[in-house]
Amino acid sequence: MTDLDEILKSRRDTRHFTKDEVPDAVIEKALQAGHWAPSVGLTDATKYYLIKSAEIKKAIKGLFLEYDEKAVALTDSEEQKIAYKTLKLEAIEEAPLGLVICYDRSVLNNFTIGTVGSNEAIKFSSVCAAQNIWLSLTEQGYSMGWVSILNYYQFKQLLGLPENMEPLGYFCVGKPATNYDNQPMLQQLNWKQKQEFPLVEQITVMHESKAEKVSFGIKEEFDSAVFANALQHKIDQKTKPTGSLGVLEVLAKQIGMVFQTLEPKIIKPNLVVFAADHGIANHGVSAYPQDVTRQMVTNFLTGGAAINVFCKQNKIQLAIVDAGVNYDFPMNTNLISAKIGMGTHSFLHGAAMSKTEVELCFMKGSEIVASIAKTGSNCIGFGEMGIGNTATASVLMSIILGLPIEDCVGKGTGVNDEQLIQKISILEKCIANYYGSDDIQSKLAYFGGFEIMQMVGGMLQAKQENMLILVDGFICSVAFLIAFKKNPSIIENAIFCHSSAEQGHQKILDYLGVRSLLQLDLRLGEGTGCAIAFPLIESAVAFLNDMASFNSAGVSSREL
């Protein structure tokens, strides 16, 4: 077989193999073809692992079966579920050879031509290599099958892959046992028909960029002196000694002042978790690999995380936002897609994002909160998820407050003392390497995170909508700090739900001159502090609205 078109047409995602071994010469020729594939910046970031061990294949098959069960549960109908179960989607144990094709994210630690627009270019190069290997095998009378229904984190652990090495999946290699009637297997089995011709459309109109500068107006201040006195009088006239409900009294007055009523109500409380990945995570600043961001977003969507439990407990509407996770989530998930990119770049040697991307973040965060406000909600909490984002937040805190980085950095999601020293050292280098302008917008772009900047936009919009703003821990407080710098009056609407175990958090609270509701040594993120503190906020509103006054209860205030 020598004609290229015939080779291309006969290439198949093979699931049925003979027992014939794959000669070394065949796989060597195929891997050489992979090596000839385009490589962004000539990084040689693609690496291959061969697997012949029956024990390893069996373990990988176990990972497939576990995730295949999840796939079955996601089918759209009972008929589709039955059809899905009849498909053969892997030949892990049957194929004589296993191949794992990986791309090495560590090449991004240094400047690489072709990756400034997207870190994904590294992955795309490896996909090109996979296609070359497939075509070479086809030309030699062999074939390959791509298995991607796996828990990739467990897959990497099972193979002992380093954190920086990302697999495209598991590839079954061997001599095909069938030609599938010269058509794709899924088409042969009537799962879906492949279109005869490619989708092509010519773009003739240039569209304006949507990244317009977002402005958040500052409303005229409510002439509040008389109302504040009336509100305080109502609180003092409750059947209790003055001030005896402590912080709840302060909270009740704040809520009354925000809504400008003596009888405030919390309506349709919402909590939004913004998730994104950070390039700086590639440098060992976290105890967890970057893929945990994707795993936790999936956990949020299936209802298994702490924030799901606490929101359900307290009847808070929960929304999850993909602000920039390094993963393409299915379109049919209950996920708000506001993806700016597949994670930020590492700011060790260059900018994490562009100024345009910062403005896009502000805009998307603003739009999300505006849509929630339209439902009638007047209370919104903010949470986050992103491996490496405590490092990002620490640097932002350092440059905004002018503090040494060691005063801002904490252990995040559990790094040990030795890792903490390394984390501080890396972030010191990052700040020292900064070569941009001294204005705050340039620094936000250089050191920022997609989810942090979207929270900033969301918080500023919540102030515009005059909503109560519930602030979670360290990372959310850094986002609030940025919002505060843009509109200091936002402090009136903010309730700081807890003091984090992160050392930098209390410094931010002290700088803002505020007090948090809880001290529970939380450092989970996700907005969990907001959800846990919410019953206290409801209690403040309840006593203000429902508790008897001295007059209504016939109690003399002099007796208390």
Q: What is the pLDDT of residues 136-175, one digit of tens each?
A: 999 999 999 999 998 887 898 899 998 778 899 999 999 9
Go through the domains of the chain in sequence order and give each one's CATH number. Answer: 4-108+118-189 (3.40.109.10), 267-545 (3.40.50.10210)
Q: Are 39 and 45 in contact (CB under 8 A)?
A: yes
Average pLDDT over the chain, rounded to whole?
Answer: 88
For the stretch 218-263, pLDDT in tens is 555 556 788 888 899 899 888 888 889 999 999 999 999 999 999 9
Catalytic residue among 367, 526, 538, 559: 526
C-alpha distances in angstroms, 293 versus 276, 297, 405, 413? 7, 6, 25, 12
pLDDT at position 10? 84
pLDDT at position 69? 86
Residue 1's pLDDT band (cuts 50, 70, 90): very low
Q: How much of the chain, in percent, has pLDDT values that exceed 70? A: 93
Residue 417's pLDDT band (cuts 50, 70, 90): confident
* Nearest to 155, CA basis, from 45, 49, 23: 49
For the stretch 260-312, pLDDT in tens is 999 999 999 999 999 999 988 877 777 778 888 998 999 999 999 999 999 99
pLDDT at position 162? 86
Strands 143-147 and 165-174: antiparallel
Overall average pLDDT of the 492-515 stretch? 93
Q: What is the pTM of this model?
A: 0.71
Residues 42-46: contacts with CB under 8 Å, at least 24 apart: 43/104, 43/107, 43/112, 43/122, 43/125, 45/103, 45/104, 45/105, 45/107, 45/122, 45/125, 45/126, 46/101, 46/102, 46/103, 46/104, 46/125, 46/126, 46/129
Q: Is residue 410 over pLDDT 80?
A: no
d(CA 139, CA 497): 63
Is residue 55 annotated as a catalytic residue, yes or no? no
d(CA 243, CA 231): 14
pLDDT at position 364? 94
Answer with the residue of higher pLDDT: 330 or 39. 39
